[in-house]
Amino acid sequence: MRHCLNAPLSLLLLLFCASLQAAPLSDADIRQWANTYQAVMAWANKTSIQQDFAAGQKSIQQNDIFGQMMMQAKAQGYYQELAGVVKSNGYSDPQQWAVVGDRIFKAFLANHTEGDMEPQIRQLEAMLDSNAIPPEQKAAMEAILQQSLATLKSIADTPAEDKAAVQRNEAVLQSLFGM
């Protein structure tokens, strides 16, 4: 019976989240996220979170960097503090901040990837299929190439509206991302 009651609630939550994803990023979304990011970084610099994350992180999926950060924060006991920083900057749900951040970063990467990405994707796939990589390095290189390939494929689907919003806020985001 309990599962029956949760199913409609789960469906509503899923539909609500889907509607959030569908809305294009706005300049206000990006400004709020950027201000919160600065607060998160100021907090992080006062803790050992970055060292702890680096020690516990095997690889980072560039298209889900902030979502992964939230998962690692939970796993390493930093989530409540991190959530407090995010909430004090206007987000009711820290996961929402992570989703917006992932969308912003994905659009930022898409804007900085020149032209059609199909040739780059095909080139990476060809490298994986060829014998150009020495056998002793193949496993490590395959992991890196697979990650790069997944990122390229992911950013290829970035909505034009998100890319345009990120482009309008390029200077702020470049200063945050150190590019």
Q: Cα(119)–Cα(64) distance, rounded to whole angstroms?
A: 23
Residue pair 110/154 in contact by the 8 Å Cβ criterion: no
Residue 167 domain flag: yes
Residue 49 has pLDDT above 90, yes or no: no
**What is the DSSP code (8-state) at residue 1?**
-
| φ, ψ (nearest 5 deg) of residue 93 | -130, 120
User: In this predicted model, what pLDDT tens digit does every residue of 63-112 receive, in sequence order?
Assistant: 688 998 899 889 889 999 999 999 999 999 999 999 999 999 999 988 98
Residue 10 domain flag: no
Residue 68 domain flag: yes
Residue 53 domain flag: yes
Residue 7 domain flag: no
Residue 61 has pLDDT above 80, yes or no: no
Domain housing 108:
27-112+159-177
Residue 135 domain flag: no
Q: Cα(110)–Cα(161) distance, rounded to whole angstroms?
A: 12
Among candidate residues 63, 82, 62, the one with its CA nearest the CA of residue 72: 82
User: In this predicted model, what pLDDT tens digit does every residue of 11-31 receive, in sequence order?
Assistant: 344 444 444 455 999 999 999
- Only one residue has tokens 């996220």, namely 33
Residue pair 30/166 in contact by the 8 Å Cβ criterion: yes
Tokens of 44: 């992080």
- How many other CB atoms are there within 10 angstroms of residue 79's CB atom? 15
pLDDT value at position 117? 63
Q: Cα(176)–Cα(38) distance, rounded to whole angstroms?
A: 8
Among candidate residues 103, 83, 89, the one with its CA nearest the CA of residue 20: 103
Domain count, the chain: 1
Residue pair 33/99 in contact by the 8 Å Cβ criterion: no
Residue 124 domain flag: no
Q: Cα(106)–Cα(112) distance, rounded to whole angstroms?
A: 10
Residue pair 37/178 in contact by the 8 Å Cβ criterion: no
Residue 69 domain flag: yes
Considering only residues 21 and 46, tell me which one the structure prediction assigns the higher pLDDT.
46
